[in-house]
């Protein structure tokens, strides 16, 4: 049996696509990858189906589309005729062993499976976890047009998936966070910015009361009383041909909502802090109620809401369940593999794997392909053996250089976990600034995260949660906050990536080479992409980033490229702007946006908050 799963469904033209991905399962061999990492367009919606990720998956696993025995799609939003599917299989994929249309019809009903959105979310969480039985919880903005649920809760027990509670519609807790994010001026899908900004703000009691009134716990989940008065207007000025993102143009601030009206007199940092506080409080109250519906001590969570690592930390530390699992791809990018797992489980009734599923499920490139690409660019390079390359990389990182690190199979999911990563020294506060200056150009309030070897994790935090996919924030011990300042957020937390030798031997070796130099197997690790594009996939993209000046050194497999030896750069003055100045500037520019969009607000109250701004000093 060879299962291929696509999200979204081919020929489903009514669905506005995003987070497209493809997955293939052949016994214990798995491939899963996002389409936008291959098209290099964020929130890709212009392709018909995840063709590139499907075909590169076939290449990675050494099969052809003809070899695939079972096809899996999400439930479509409209009726798609057999003729359209015939066209898809025959014309697009050149699967030509259908003798006639009648044969195709029989084949189709036996071999094509449709799995609903939230079942796919739940299945990824269940089948990527190490648990034999568990409760599951899915939360997102409202599924898709084939499954409009926004919340499900149930359990996986004695090989059965039972749903115990669910909610349908655009009215759940995830939508509350979407509205909050929108009210702050961040475009659609940028909820992480709200969570990052929250650490700089103050929880305002009055605002807490007003926002809390919009959320209530019902029998079928948390209800968000939402009102949208206007939708956002397209902002064509945001069109960027080198970093195209439809949401920045079509779904960006401002849209006038009840949350915007409630929040408009408060500073952005305080809106974020209070909104996050409200969300976490009601979520945990609801989780306590859900706990009574199951006997399981294990909880697995999936759906866009659980990309919020600060929320995940609260869940883990709540003690409501004993053990937790958050998969590597919580957004809709995880749906293809979730649906493929579900079909495999329906057919085989076997729960695999028995440990955390590896996140290294994407494409890889061998040394021959890498060397050919480096030579295409006519670059100077050195070839080194595995151990040697780790030693060299460790020395460069500790010296303060920014290193592009490209190894093995790419990661599935939003986090780079040591195979498509940009690495730097977390002990130097300037590393954050340098990475930001060279390639990230992130908002000033967004934190960077460290990779830490499994054996060292209890030295830097008291929290005991295995985090192989960077799914949770951790409170960093006071003694370590000053030791790794570039990888600790202003609130003293860090989104730690824990590395076990058996999960990623090369990256673990690199961490230990760093330890040999400075005593700490810790590296600042961020995704390999310049601002505005998805994480890169291929050696060519890595080289293009290096030549653009995004790093000091590039290491692909066993090849080392010293960027200075290949091109000269104009020395640019690093403009350092303090975080306090950033908070003030952002708060002032919001006044202009509110005025420009004719949203009335209390100027005196706002100015009063503005005068109270002080920077938290947790570090
Ligand atoms: Fe979803």
Q: Which residue has the higher pLDDT, 12 or 481?
A: 481
Q: What is residue 341's predicted lDDT score, i.e. its pLDDT?
A: 96
Q: What is the pLDDT of residues 597-615, one digit of tens each?
A: 888 888 888 888 888 887 6
**Rounded distance from Cα 339 to ligand 1 centre (Å):** 12
- DSSP string of 576-606, one letter each residue: ---HHHHHHHHHHHHHHHHHHTT----HHHH
Q: For the residues 379-408, what does the mean pLDDT come to? A: 96
Q: Is pLDDT at 252 greater than 80 in this prediction?
A: no
Neighbours of 353 (CB within 10 A): 13
Q: Which residue has the higher pLDDT, 265 or 189?
A: 265
Q: Which residue has the higher pLDDT, 570 or 538?
A: 538
Q: For the residues 98-115, what does the mean pLDDT come to? A: 90
C-beta separation of 327 from 125 below 8 A = yes
C-beta separation of 428 from 475 below 8 A = no
Residue tagged 């143009």 (tokens): 249
**Rounded distance from Cα 459 to ligand 1 centre (Å):** 36
Q: What is residue 617's predicted lDDT score, i.e. its pLDDT?
A: 52
* For the chain, percent of residues with pLDDT exceeding 70: 97
Q: What is residue 619's predicted lDDT score, i.e. its pLDDT?
A: 40
Q: Which of 252-261, 415-424, 577-586 has the lowest mean pLDDT?
A: 577-586
Q: CB within 8 A of 400, min separation 6: which ones?
A: 424, 425, 428, 430, 431, 434
- DSSP string of 374-401, one letter each residue: HHHTT---EE--HHHHHHHHHHHHHTT-
Q: What is residue 618's predicted lDDT score, i.e. its pLDDT?
A: 45
Cα–Cα distance measured from residue 538 to residue 582, given in angstroms and rounded to the nearest whole number: 35
Q: What is residue 185's predicted lDDT score, i.e. its pLDDT?
A: 87
Q: Which residue has the higher pLDDT, 175 or 580?
A: 175
**Rounded distance from Cα 61 to ligand 1 centre (Å):** 27
Token pair of 79 as six digits: 């009726």
**Rounded distance from Cα 332 to ligand 1 centre (Å):** 5
Closest CA to 18 of 59, 51, 40, 47: 47
- Going by the DSSP 8-state scheme, the letter that residue 35 receives in this structure is T
Q: Which of 394-398, 445-449, 528-532, 565-569 has the lowest mean pLDDT?
A: 565-569
Q: Is pLDDT at 568 greater than 80 in this prediction?
A: no
Q: What is residue 47's predicted lDDT score, i.e. its pLDDT?
A: 83
Q: Is pLDDT at 167 greater than 90 in this prediction?
A: yes
The mean pLDDT value of the chain amounts to: 92
Q: Is pLDDT at 315 greater than 70 in this prediction?
A: yes
Q: What is residue 611's predicted lDDT score, i.e. its pLDDT?
A: 86
Q: Is pLDDT at 145 greater than 50 in this prediction?
A: yes
**Rounded distance from Cα 148 to ligand 1 centre (Å):** 9
Angle among Cα 190, 192, 193 to the nearest 5 degrees reads 75
**Rounded distance from Cα 28 to ligand 1 centre (Å):** 26
Q: Is pLDDT at 352 greater than 70 in this prediction?
A: no
Q: What is the pLDDT of residues 50-76, one digit of tens each?
A: 999 999 999 999 999 999 999 999 999
Q: What is residue 586's predicted lDDT score, i.e. its pLDDT?
A: 86
Q: Is pLDDT at 506 greater than 60 in this prediction?
A: yes
Q: What is residue 589's predicted lDDT score, i.e. its pLDDT?
A: 86
Distances (CA, A) of 444 to 363, 441, 474, 508, 612: 32, 8, 21, 30, 20
Q: What is the pLDDT of residues 2-11, one digit of tens each?
A: 999 999 899 8
Q: What is residue 16's predicted lDDT score, i.e. its pLDDT?
A: 74
Q: What is residue 393's predicted lDDT score, i.e. its pLDDT?
A: 98
**Rounded distance from Cα 256 to ligand 1 centre (Å):** 24
Q: Long-range pairs for 345-352 at CB < 8 Å and ≥24 separation?
A: 345/123, 345/127, 345/159, 346/113, 347/1, 347/70, 348/1, 349/159, 351/126, 351/127, 351/132, 351/156, 351/159, 352/28, 352/127
**Rounded distance from Cα 282 to ligand 1 centre (Å):** 21
Cα–Cα distance measured from residue 409 to residue 420, given in angstroms and rounded to the nearest whole number: 9
**Rounded distance from Cα 325 to ligand 1 centre (Å):** 17
C-beta separation of 297 from 323 below 8 A = yes
**Rounded distance from Cα 121 to ligand 1 centre (Å):** 7
Q: CB within 8 A of 288, min separation 6: which ones?
A: 320
Q: CB within 8 A of 35, min separation 6: which ones?
A: 20, 21, 22, 44, 47, 50, 51, 52, 53
- DSSP string of 89-153, one letter each residue: IIIIS------SHHHHHHHHHHHEEEE-HHHHHHHHHHHTSS-SSEEEEEE-S--BTTB-EEEEE
Outline where DSSP puts E strands in 384-531: 403-406, 420-424, 449-453, 474-475, 493-494, 497-499, 522-527
Cα–Cα distance measured from residue 258 to residue 321, given in angstroms and rounded to the nearest whole number: 34
**Rounded distance from Cα 266 to ligand 1 centre (Å):** 31
Q: What is the pLDDT of residues 12-44, one digit of tens each?
A: 877 777 899 999 999 889 999 999 999 999 888
Neighbours of 602 (CB within 10 A): 11
Q: What is residue 247's predicted lDDT score, i.e. its pLDDT?
A: 83
Neighbours of 257 (CB within 10 A): 20
Q: Which of 43-47, 83-87, 356-360 has the lowest mean pLDDT?
A: 43-47
Q: Which of 371-375, 427-431, 484-488 has the lowest mean pLDDT?
A: 427-431
**Rounded distance from Cα 143 to ligand 1 centre (Å):** 5
Q: What is residue 615's predicted lDDT score, i.e. its pLDDT?
A: 64
């Amino acid at each position: 049996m060879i299962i291929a799963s696509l999200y979204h469904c081919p020929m489903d033209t009514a669905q506005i696509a995003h987070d497209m991905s493809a997955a293939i399962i052949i016994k214990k061999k798995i491939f899963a990858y996002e389409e936008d990492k291959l098209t290099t367009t964020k929130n890709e919606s212009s392709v018909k189906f995840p063709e590139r990720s499907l075909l590169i998956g076939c290449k990675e696993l050494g099969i052809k589309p003809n070899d695939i025995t079972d096809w899996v799609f999400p439930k479509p939003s409209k009726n798609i005729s057999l003729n359209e599917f015939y066209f898809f299989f025959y014309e697009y994929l050149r699967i030509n062993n259908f003798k006639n249309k009648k044969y195709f019809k029989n084949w189709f009903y036996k071999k094509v499976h449709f799995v609903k959105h939230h079942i796919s979310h739940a299945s990824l969480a269940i089948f990527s976890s190490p648990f034999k039985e568990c409760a599951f919880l899915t939360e997102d903005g409202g599924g898709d047009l084939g499954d409009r649920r926004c919340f499900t809760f149930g359990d996986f027990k004695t090989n059965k998936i039972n749903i115990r509670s669910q909610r349908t519609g655009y009215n759940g807790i995830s939508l509350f966070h979407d509205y909050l994010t929108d009210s702050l001026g961040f475009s659609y899908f940028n909820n992480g910015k709200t969570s990052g900004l929250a650490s700089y703000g103050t929880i305002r009691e009055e605002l807490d009361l007003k926002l809390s009134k919009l959320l209530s716990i019902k029998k079928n989940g948390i209800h968000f009383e939402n009102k949208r008065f206007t939708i956002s207007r397209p902002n064509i000025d945001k069109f960027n041909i080198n970093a195209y993102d439809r949401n920045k143009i079509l779904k960006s601030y401002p849209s006038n909502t009840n949350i915007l009206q409630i929040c408009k007199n408060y500073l952005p940092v305080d809106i974020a802090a209070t909104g996050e506080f409200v969300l976490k409080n009601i979520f945990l109250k609801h989780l306590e109620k859900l706990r009574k519906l199951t006997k399981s001590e294990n909880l697995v969570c999936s759906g866009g809401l659980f990309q919020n690592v600060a929320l995940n930390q609260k869940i883990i530390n709540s003690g409501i369940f004993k053990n937790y699992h958050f998969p590597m791809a919580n957004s809709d990018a995880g749906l293809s593999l979730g649906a493929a797992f579900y079909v495999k489980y329906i057919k085989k009734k076997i729960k695999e794997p028995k440990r955390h599923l590896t996140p290294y499920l994407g494409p890889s490139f061998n040394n021959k392909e890498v060397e050919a690409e480096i030579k295409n660019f006519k670059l100077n390079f050195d070839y080194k053996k595995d151990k040697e390359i780790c030693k060299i990389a460790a020395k460069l990182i500790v010296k303060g250089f920014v290193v592009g690190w490209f190894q093995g199979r790419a990661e599935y999911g939003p986090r780079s976990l040591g195979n498509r990563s940009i690495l730097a020294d977390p002990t130097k506060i300037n590393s954050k600034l340098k990475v930001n200056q060279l390639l990230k150009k992130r908002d000033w309030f967004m934190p960077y995260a460290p990779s830490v070897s499994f054996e060292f994790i209890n030295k830097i935090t008291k929290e005991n949660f295995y985090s192989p996919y960077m799914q949770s924030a951790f409170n960093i011990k006071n003694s370590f906050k000053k030791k790794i300042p570039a990888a600790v957020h202003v609130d003293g937390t860090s989104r730690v990536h824990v590395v076990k030798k058996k999960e990623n031997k090369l990256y673990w070796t690199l961490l230990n080479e760093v330890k040999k130099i400075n005593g700490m197997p810790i590296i600042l690790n961020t995704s390999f992409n310049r601002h505005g594009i998805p994480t890169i996939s291929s050696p060519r993209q890595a080289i293009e980033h290096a030549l653009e000046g995004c790093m000091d050194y590039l290491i692909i497999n066993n090849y080392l490229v010293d960027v200075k030896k290949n091109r000269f750069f104009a020395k640019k003055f690093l403009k350092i702007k303090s975080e306090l100045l950033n908070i003030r500037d952002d708060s002032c520019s919001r006044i202009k946006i509110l005025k420009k969009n004719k949203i009335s607000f209390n100027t005196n109250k706002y100015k009063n908050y503005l005068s109270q701004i002080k920077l938290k000093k947790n570090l």
